[in-house]
Structure 1
Amino acid sequence: MKKVISILAAGTMTMGLLAGCGSSSESTEEDTSGQAAQEDSADEGSTDAAASDEAETSGNVLIAYYSATGNTEAVANMIADATEGDLFELEPTEPYTDDDLNWSDDNSRVSQEHENEDQRDVELVSTTPENWDSYDTVFIGYPIWWGIAAWPVDHFVEDNDFTGKTVIPFCTSASSGIGDSGELLADMAGTGDWQEGQRFRSSVSDEDVVAWVESLE
């Protein structure tokens, strides 16, 4: 995602310059990429300080998601890897069982919730991540249920203020498109700069997800 990557790159360059002035530091942390600094002993402190600062500046992207069967979670992890963003799983306090998710059973939980909108008030374990105000960009992921976003994401959208944030929906579906799900969530939120969303098939490749992220303005 060009905008997100540009922000992270700018933050890293700035922190790297600051860290260069502190070559006497005795920090022993490893670089955030997992590779130990290969500098000589005189520069080890400044390299490790730069790595620490980079980690602090990489938290301005959040990937919030609800995943019923693991497909949305897989895409969320791919986006997190591509953006170095933070993951935030939306977990119902009463998790859905396999029987609950049986769309073909008119008496299943999701079928009943679909037929009775007042039953879609799904309470979450938590609706707001720590350091919410620090995030500039928020991806919101969900499966498509009957043509709309799975309603466990509703409380997250309703309970948070997206003012000043770029919001990018994404969904997973075997056949349905993303439809108006993103627009409906934007209306529900009432705040934020909501972008056009993207639908991914259940077996989407990492390469396809990364290509989408990099195409974002």
Structure 2
Amino acid sequence: MKFAWKKMLSLSLAAAMSLSLAACGQGSAQDDSQPAAQSQTGTESTASSAPDNGQETGAGNVLVAYYSATGNTESVANYIAEAIGGDLFAITPAEPYTSDDLDWTDENSRVSREHADESLRDVELTATDVENWDSYDTVFIGYPIWWGIAAWPVDTFVENNDFTGKTVIPFCTSSSSDIGQSGELLADMAGTGEWQEGQRFRSGASQEDVTEWVDSLGLSA
């Protein structure tokens, strides 16, 4: 009896220790769904650098072109390219936007002045021509949301390329704003291409969320 009682006590202690370790493991899991700080322009808050030459080579007939103010759109673009096996093209302003330029709370900042005066939104890019452009059947176009529309550096890229025969899929990043009519407005600017319904991702979107969306499109590189 004494031996049996000790054995039961040992088993109870072991079970309690296992439950305690499991609870600690769950509590240490990181939550990557917390959105970045909101701004009225929809600019992202995660710093990341874009390719110096504006283009990265890869395989397939899918292109992922994107403008990223501070990194979140670039992250989503990379997730899309990885999921679909596509190429990347960074839409890069000839005069990059600084942190001060992106300060929407300052009425004298660059984005505020451009927002107030549409004539200032003709942003010169380092490049608009994409190598082997004619070989791409599907083009993803990504951007942050600024005042409810696509960040205007994307306008220059869209207006300078012929999307005839291409399926075009817009995507955007924003802390809270929806994609709205941003994709439709870009389609009107382009005047060519088969533009699809776009997708909005929160700032700091996870790779899992992006890959799930890409898979739902039924595309193949």
Tell me the TM-score normalized by structure 1: 0.73
Runs of 4+ off more than 2 Å: 56-59
Q: Structure 1 regions of 5+ residues with no counterpart?
A: 1-55
DSSP 3-state at the match of 2:130: coil
Q: Which residue of 1 aligns with 2:129?
A: 128
Tell me, yes or no, if the aligned pair for 2:100 and 2:109 is still in contact at 8 Å. yes
DSSP 3-state at the match of 1:88: strand
Bigger fraction of residues in helix: 1
Tell me the matched-pair count.
162
Q: Which residue of 2 aligns with 1:16?
A: none
Q: Which residue of 2 aligns with 1:149?
A: 150
Distance 2:204 2:60 in 1: 28
Distance 1:204 1:91 in 2: 22
Q: Which residue of 2 aligns with 1:170?
A: 171
Q: Which residue of 2 aligns with 1:115?
A: 116
Q: Which residue of 1 aligns with 2:82?
A: 81
Q: Please list, as runs of the form range in 1=range in 2, the aligned pairs for 1:6-155 lying within 5 A after superposition.
A: 58-155=59-156
Distance 2:59 2:122 in 1: 33
Matched, 1:184 2:185: yes
Tell me, yes or no, if the aligned pair for 1:59 and 1:134 is still in contact at 8 Å. no
Q: Deviations over 1:45-100 (max 9, x none)?
A: xxxxxxxxxxx993300000000010000000000100110000000000000000
Q: Which residue of 2 aligns with 1:205?
A: 206
Tell me, yes or no, if the aligned pair for 2:58 and 2:85 is still in contact at 8 Å. no
Q: Which residue of 2 aligns with 1:6?
A: none
Distance 2:143 2:58 in 1: 27
Distance 2:131 2:187 in 1: 22
Q: CA deviation at 1:128?
A: 1.6
DSSP 3-state at the match of 2:131: coil
Distance 1:210 1:57 in 2: 18
Structure with larger Rg? 2
Q: Cα RMSD over matched residues?
A: 1.3
Tell me, yes or no, if the aligned pair for 1:173 and 1:199 is still in contact at 8 Å. yes
Distance 1:208 1:70 in 2: 17
Q: Higher relative CO (CA 8 A, sep ≥ 6), structure 1 or 2?
A: 2
DSSP 3-state at the match of 1:74: helix
